[in-house]
Amino acid sequence: MDKMVIEGGNPLQGKIQVGGAKNAALPIIAACLLAEGWHRLYNVPHLRDVETLKGIMSKLGVEFRRDGNALEINSSNLRDYNAPYELVKTMRASIVLLGPLLARYGKARISLPGGCAIGERPVNLHLKALSAMGVEMWLDHGYINAHADRLKGVDIFFDIPTVTGTENIMMAAVMAEGETTLRNVAREPEIQDLADMLRHMGAKIEGDGTDTIVIQGVTDLRPARHTIIPDRIESGTFMIAAAMTRGEVEIEGCCPKHLGALMERLESAGTKLDITPNGILVKGPDVIKSVDVKTTPFPGFPTDLQAQFMTLMCISKGWSTITETVFENRFIHVSELKRMGAEIEINGNRALVRGKEQLFSAPVMATDLRASASLILAGLVAKGGKTEVHRIYHLDRGYEALEKKFEALGATIWREKV
Ligand code: EPZ
């Protein structure tokens, strides 16, 4: 178990290169199950979640070759279709194996992903759509058993625009019989990146990025090369860090069109943003204005940046409300921030934040991936000594060498073994 130690007070200065998007890499790696031969993916981040998915797929017989930021994948010699609980419980996104396994092999046995710190995380919409496509499913001992002779194209409406639900059904539909129309789907950039990868493999997909995706089933797909999009949540985390520390940082390699909602809120809070040829230049304001935020599916404000933005509001001038509409329990970071002097009151899915002059260093505990990031950000500005963030294995799931990147920007931060 490692902890992160931060001595706050340094304004961040310089340039930082963001990595490939975790939430694009995971479904795209799973999509390599759909076609035999060597796929080659570029800009694949070195993250715990990527390693977990590789571990599960290796057990199924998939071969991997790492070459720096490139990852080569070959699923020609698949020998199993069982994703075990011991691995799935550490990463519920493993559910994205269900669609490709059914499309390629007609069967899958995947541990039902449990909930996690931020919510129950049901997969009922995934299963409802698959059953409409002709998949027979039954649950036993916590596992989803699924079987389908041939998936058939259908017209499916999603009650909620689920990101991995949309991804799972896209992958199930690309070789289904006939046409599939997916309505009220998620519109996140990671959905479009998966669609691009599937098109490189020969799939016929239109409408990704809108609320309706139409897929014509094809008989087979081929291995492909693909570059993963930049991680908009890592980019946003650095932008907020620059704003909080009143620094000046250029976030290189990020995609401004993926960050519209955050950019609008940061500018309303007084942050100066300039689009540069390489990315976005962020200048922190002397006075951080209090602004309200409500998380919604893309293109709205991302739930994955809610904890980080709340930390910014903790040192703003005035009152702000943070409303979380995507997950039912995504305020776990609040109690830890309050231990650092933040003034926050929770009322249902709404947090009322009263900005304070400053936060104070303290030992705190990470509980989920993005909450960990918000505590690191708080440590970067906390006064009065060292902030220690414990259980940062949560952080390593979604951020690659975060302390090294912050150190390169002038932060006093290091990792210690506990
Ligand atoms: C993806 O999770 C991301 N993970 C999450 O990022 C992100 O927070 C989330 O989308 C929302 O943007 C990956 O892409 C690997 P959802 P996902 O299905 O797909 C409900 C991070 O920090 N729902 O879009 O699991 C669900 O309970 C992670 O990188 C159902 O009710 O989220 C939630 O309230 C955290 N039934 C809402 O929909 C279902 O069958 C949105 O969930 C599916 C979802």
Cα–Cα dist 373/360, whole Å: 17
Tens of pLDDT, residue by residue over 73-97, are: 999 999 999 998 888 888 889 999 9
Which of 162, 237, 298 to mutate to test ligand 1, by most ligand atoms within 8 A of the CB atom?
162
Cα–Cα dist 124/140, whole Å: 15
Task: Give the per-residue pLDDT at 253.
Answer: 98
- Nearest protein CA to atom 5 of ligand 1, as residue: 304
Give 122 Cα–ligand 1 centroid separation in angstroms.
9
Block means of pLDDT (10 residues each) for the chain, 418 residues, are 95 98 98 98 97 95 97 95 87 93 95 80 94 95 93 97 98 98 98 98 98 97 98 98 98 98 98 98 97 98 98 98 95 97 98 97 94 97 96 94 97 96
Cα–Cα dist 311/386, whole Å: 17
Alpha helices in 85-148 (DSSP H): 85-88, 98-105, 124-132
Dihedral Cα 254, 5, 371, 95, nearest 10 deg: 70
CB 268 within 8 Å of CB 199: no
Looking at residue 172, its amino acid is A
* Burial of 362 (C-beta count, 10 Å sphere; 0-12/13-18/19+): buried
Backbone angle region of 99, left / alpha / beta, with phi > 0 → left and psi within -120 to 50 → alpha: alpha
Give 306 Cα–ligand 1 centroid separation in angstroms.
14
User: What's the angle, vertex CA 341, arms to CA 338 and CA 342, rounded to 5?
Assistant: 60
Each as own residue / partner, the long-range contacts of residues 261-267 (CB below 8 Å, 24 or more positions apart, any chain) are: 261/299, 261/300, 261/301, 261/302, 262/236, 262/301, 262/302, 262/305, 262/309, 263/239, 265/291, 265/293, 265/301, 265/309, 266/239, 266/240
- Taking alpha carbons only, the member of 387, 365, 367, 366 closest to residue 378 is 387
- Taking alpha carbons only, the member of 270, 180, 210, 194 closest to residue 30 is 194
Task: Give the per-residue pLDDT at 230.
Answer: 98
* Burial of 224 (C-beta count, 10 Å sphere; 0-12/13-18/19+): buried
Strand locations in 292-391 (E): 293-295, 319-324, 343-347, 350-354, 363-365, 386-390
Cα–Cα dist 102/85, whole Å: 19
For ligand 1, what atom is nearest to the CA of residue 368? 22
**Binding-site residues, ligand 1, Cβ < 6 A:** 22-23, 26, 93, 119, 121-126, 160, 162-165, 186, 303-304, 326-327, 369-370, 398
User: What's the angle, vertex CA 208, arms to CA 184 and CA 37, rounded to 5?
Assistant: 125
Cα–Cα dist 4/111, whole Å: 32
Task: Give catalytic residues, as residue numbers.
Answer: 116
For ligand 1, what atom is nearest to the CA of residue 398? 29
Which of 160, 191, 294, 324 to mutate to test ligand 1, by most ligand atoms within 8 A of the CB atom?
160
What pTM was estimated for this model as a whole?
0.97
pLDDT above 70 as % of the chain: 100
**CA Rg value for the chain:** 21
Domains and CATH numbers, the chain: 2-19+230-417 (3.65.10.10), 22-227 (3.65.10.10)
